Amino acid sequence: MPSWTRRHSLIGVVPKKQEQKSLPKSLEWYLNATKLLVTLSTGAIVFGFGFFKEVSLSEPERILFAVSSLTLGFSSISGVMTFLFTTSYANKLEDIFRNGTSVQKEKTRKGRHKSLKKWYNRMLFSFISGILLFSIFGLALIFLHKKPIDQNLSVIPIQSDADRFLLSNTKNGRLWILSKDSTGIYKQEEIKIE
C-alpha cells in the first residue's frame, strides 16, 4: 500500500510524527542560575553604593569596597556572557536537531559548550569572591569603624577646675559643660543661653 493511502486511510496506520528532541534541562538550570547571580551581584553593588555613600571610609575600607564592587561587577559581566553563550549553545543544538549533524556543527557545538562552562565558572567564582569581600567589608565597618569626631565641636578647658570642660558647637552655637563625677565618668549639662 502506498504511503499516501496509509495517511488518508481510515483503517490504515498513520505514521508517527518525527520525535522532537528537547534541549537538556541543564541549559534551563544554567539560565536560571545566571539570572539569579547577575541580579544578586548588581543588587549588592547598588546596595553598597547606596548604603555606604554617607559613611566616611578610611583608605583600606575604600580599597576593600572598591575591590568587592569590581569583583561583583565582573561577576555580572560574566553572567551576561554566560547567558549569551547558553542561548548560542541552545540555538546550535536546535539546529543540529532540525538539520542533522556534521563535523563542523559538532565542533561549533563543543566550542560553545566549552565557552559556556568557562564563563559560568568565572561568574560563579567572582560572585563568591565578591560576596566574601563585601561581607568582610561590612564586618569591618561594624566592628572596626570609629565614628569621626564632629569637626564643629571644640573643647575648652575651664581654668579653675581640671575636671571640667566647656564643649562648644560652632555650627549651631550650643554649649555644654562636661564635668567628671566621683566615678570618673564625664557627664554633660547643656547651657541654655537666652
In the predicted structure, residue 165 carries a pLDDT above the cut 90: no
Report for 131-135, 142-146, 181-185: range of highest mean pLDDT: 131-135
Nearest-CA neighbor of 68 among 83, 54, 82, 47?
Answer: 47
**Whole-number pLDDT of residue 39:** 94
Strands lying side by side in the sheet with 175-180: 153-157, 164-169, 175-180, 186-191
Nearest-CA neighbor of 16 among 24, 7, 8, 25?
Answer: 7
Domain ranges of the chain: 24-144, 153-191
**Whole-number pLDDT of residue 148:** 55
Grid look-up 570609629 returns 146
Q: Which residue has the higher pLDDT, 186 or 123?
A: 123
**Whole-number pLDDT of residue 5:** 45
Q: Are 173 and 180 in contact (CB under 8 A)?
A: no
Mean pLDDT of 154-167: 70
**Whole-number pLDDT of residue 126:** 95
Task: Encode pLDDT of 53-104 as tens digits.
Answer: 767 777 888 898 899 999 999 999 999 999 988 888 888 888 877 887 777 7
Say how far apart CA 83 and CA 125 lie, in whole Å: 16
**Whole-number pLDDT of residue 194:** 64
Say how far apart CA 11 and CA 8 lie, in whole Å: 9
Nearest-CA neighbor of 124 among 43, 30, 46, 45?
Answer: 30
**Whole-number pLDDT of residue 72:** 94
Confidence of residue 129 (pLDDT cuts 50, 70, 90): very high
In the predicted structure, residue 146 carries a pLDDT above the cut 70: no
Q: Find the angle CA(98)-CA(29)-CA(114) to the nearest 5 degrees.
A: 65
Q: Which residue has the higher pLDDT, 172 or 69?
A: 69
Which residues touch 44 (CB under 8 Å, ≥6 apart)?
A: 72, 130, 131, 134
Task: Encode pLDDT of 3-55 as tens digits.
Answer: 444 444 444 443 444 445 666 787 888 889 999 999 999 999 998 888 777 67
In the predicted structure, residue 180 carries a pLDDT above the cut 70: yes
